[in-house]
Structure 1
Amino acid sequence: MHLGKTYKVSEFIAWTRRQIYLLLAVGTVPVLLYQVLGLRWLTIPLTVVGLLGTATSFIVGFKNVQTYNRTVEAQHLWTSILNSSRFWGASVGGFVRSPIDARELIDRHVAWLTCLRYELRSARPWETMEKASNVEYRDIYRIPERETPIDDELRRHLSNSEHAQIHEVRLSLKATQVLWLQSRALRRLHDQGDLSLTTYIELNKLQKEFIDQQGRAERLKNYPYPRQYAIINTLFVWAFCVLLPFGLLKEFDKLNDGISGLMQGCMVWLVIPFSATISWMYTSLEQVGESTENPFEGSANDVPITLIARTIEREMKEFIGETDLPVLPVPVHEIIL
């Protein structure tokens, strides 16, 4: 998540510069064919290109709305996890008699958050973090889940026996396994008489909420924006970008009739910068939508799940009177995850 007022124009241009280079090349080829080789028939009516541009605008806008909705849903989901976790911490701190048992329930919940965020940060084939522009930009900020192994994090929150048990399962099942351990611990405390029936029922209801929230997060992670819409969006954008220079050739050639001096007969060359600029607007919108599509992949526009998880850990440990609190992540170049 970007915490600054806005991205700098220089950052945005650097992020999209590979598209700019390609668009300049796409605009240069028709001009060379038209102006240098004399293929004056090689034009397309601007009306046709305009109709394609209108259709492309609708498709790009539709995708960006849908991908933005995915990010908003992810933000709402982790806000719900934050609120439910606060209630969990308050309930455990207020109703569990033994401070040791309360500490274990809190730590186990933090372990669940840790497993969940590591699962959500793991890569998927359709994600875009391995694109050259994103790999390059990723170097200016931190992705905590890629810096610290999950086992090092879990050792802080689980007993040796529980850690060994969680270590054996694959990453996609670790969070579910921790919830299972938590349910067993609640049942044990109830059977021992350390947890009243009412509190036991309420904490189990919260466990169900956590399972539901985990499922919603996994749906956003494991089910991408439909691929048929993604490919149609890309095809339409690049069809427009390729055809646009051909539609501008004759229009700029007409400008030579009213021009004298140095630019006389050379106005067609302006097709290159103007077509690249117009096309860049479309490709940039597509790239922004693509970067918003997967809210947990580790991009600069991600939902800050590490920050939220650390905030939950600090608050819950304060509930039970601990003073050794974890340090919250700090933004790097105004980006925090």
Structure 2
Amino acid sequence: MYIGKSYKLSEFIIWTRKSIYVLLVISIVPTVLYEVFDLKWLGISWTVVALLGTATAFIVGFKNTQTYNRTVEAQQIWTFILNTSRSWGIMSRDFVNDPEKSKLLIYRHFAWLTALRYEMRSYRIWEASQKKHNAEYQQFYYVIPENEISLEDELSKFLSPEELEYILKTKNKATQIMALQSKTLKKLFDDEEIVLLQFVDFQRTIKDFYAQQGRSEQLKDSPYPRQYAIINTLLVHLFCFLLPFGLLKEFDKMNDTVTGIAQGNMVWLVIPFSVIISWMYTSLGQVGESTENPFEGNANDVPISQISKIIEIDLREMLGETDLPVLAEAQHNIVL
């Protein structure tokens, strides 16, 4: 998540420079053919291009709205996990009289958070994090915590060797860690270490965690609909290709209204104006693409690693611990 006031224009241009290079070529070629080789038939009606641009703007706007909604939903899920985790910490400390068993429940919760965030950071084929412009940006501006240390090493901080060995063999590790929590609570209830109402509260909280885990997994495993994604890409590419052809005659007409050095040379303005307008569309598409998967490891991700660390600090303090982990500092105003 970017927490600065604004991205720098230089960063944004560097991030989108590949598109700018392509747009320059698309703009230069028809302009040179029209002006130097006198291929006047290349100029097409501006009305056609304008209608296509309007349709493209609607499609791009629709996509960006939907991708932003996906990010908002992800923020809501992990905010709920944050708040409910604090409740879990309080219940684990105050409902259970044995400090070691309270610590077991809380540390195992850290393991659940760890397994869940590692799963959310795993790669899906439709994600954009490994595209060249995103991978290059990540290489120079920030680090993904889940890439720095293995899941096994992280889980070993919170689980016993026996539980760690068992969990590493399972397919959905977060699900099975929470199942261990339920098993422990059942034993506490059977041993009359907690009463019925406390057991019910614990189980209700587990149900809430499972619900939010499911929502998080659904967002991760359900991409922005591919049929909308492809039509968005096709329309943007088609508009950017046709735009300079539609501007040729419009700028050529301006030669009759200017004097001096500009007269007879107005067509060359097609190149910068075509690049600027097309860049606006391609950049909106690139921003939408980097926003649609809120857990993939892009700069605009929901900061699930930071949220997990905040939960760990809060719950450790509830246990009276003083040797607390340190929140990672933002790198170039980016927090994951």
Please indicate the TM-score interval, normalised by the length of the shorter structure: over 0.9
Letter in 2 for 1:131: K
Cα distance between partner residues in 2 of 1:38 and 1:289: 39
Deviation sequence 1:215-263 (CA, Å, 0-9, x none):
0000000000000000000111111111110010011111222333333
The 5 Å alignment of 1:54-203 reads 54-139=54-139, 140-170=141-171, 173-203=172-202
- The one-letter amino acid of 1:94's match is D
Separation of aligned partners in 1, 2:96 and 2:327: 27
Percent identity of paired positions between Structure 1 and Structure 2: 59
Q: CA deviation at 1:320?
A: 1.8
Structure 1 partner of 2:311? 312
State the 1:308 CA deviation: 0.4
**3-state SS of paired residue (1:41):** helix
Give the Cα–Cα distance (whole angstroms) in 1 for the partners of residues 14 and 95 of structure 2.
54
Per-residue CA distance 1:47-83 (angstroms, 9 max, x = gap): 1111111111111100000000000000011000011
Contact 1:142 1:336 in 2 (8 A): no
**Match of 1:41?**
41
CA distance in 1, matches of 2:19, 2:185: 55
Cα deviation digits, residues 119-143 of structure 1 (max 9, x gap): 0000000000111110111011011
Deviation larger for 195-204 or 221-230: 195-204
Query: Which residue does 2:30 correspond to in 1?
Result: 30
- Taking the aligned partners of 1:193 and 1:326, their CA distance within structure 2 comes to 34
Distance in 2 separating the partners of 1:33 and 1:10: 32
Shift of 1:169: 2.1
Q: TM-score, normalised by structure 2?
A: 0.98
Which residue of structure 1 aligns with residue 6 of structure 2? 6
Query: Given the alignment of the two structures, is residue 216 of structure 1 paired with residue 215 of structure 2, yes or no?
Result: yes
Alpha-carbon separation, structure 2, partners of 1:318 and 1:225: 40
| Cα distance in 2 between the residues matched to 1:110 and 1:304 | 16
Q: Residue 215 of structure 2 aligns to which amino acid in structure 1?
A: R
| SS in structure 2 of the partner of residue 161 of structure 1 | helix
1:282 is matched with: 281
Whole-Å separation in 2 of the counterparts to 1:108 and 1:10: 44
Q: Aligned AA for 2:99?
A: P
CA displacement at 1:321 relative to structure 2: 1.3
Deviates more, 1:70-79 or 1:39-48: 39-48
Partner AA of 2:116 in structure 1: L
Cα-Cα RMSD: 0.9
CA distance in 1, matches of 2:200, 2:325: 30
Provide the rounded CA distance (Å) in 2 between the counterparts of 1:284 and 1:316: 42
Give the whole-Å Cα distance in 2 for the aligned partners of 1:257 and 1:317: 76
Partner Cα distance (1:121, 1:111) in 2: 15
Q: Which letter does structure 2 place at the counterpart of 1:240?
A: F
Q: Counterpart of 2:302?
A: 303
Task: Give the counterpart letter for 1:146 in structure 2.
Answer: N
Check the 8 A contact 1:291/1:301 in 2, yes or no.
yes
Q: Is the 8 A contact 1:3 1:335 kept in 2?
A: yes
How far apart in 2 are the matches of 1:103 and 1:188? 16
Equivalents in 1 of 2:214, 2:162: separation in Å?
Answer: 26
Could you say what secondary structure the match of 1:52 adopts? helix
* Partner residue in 1 for 2:227: 228
Alpha-carbon distance, 1:36 to partner? 1.8
Structure 2 unaligned blocks of 5 or more: none
In the aligned structure 1, how far is the partner of 2:186 from the partner of 2:322? 29
Q: Which amino acid aligns with 1:329?
A: A
What is the TM-score with the length of structure 1 in the denominator? 0.98
Instruction: Give 1:195 shift.
Output: 1.7
Letter in 1 for 2:39: L
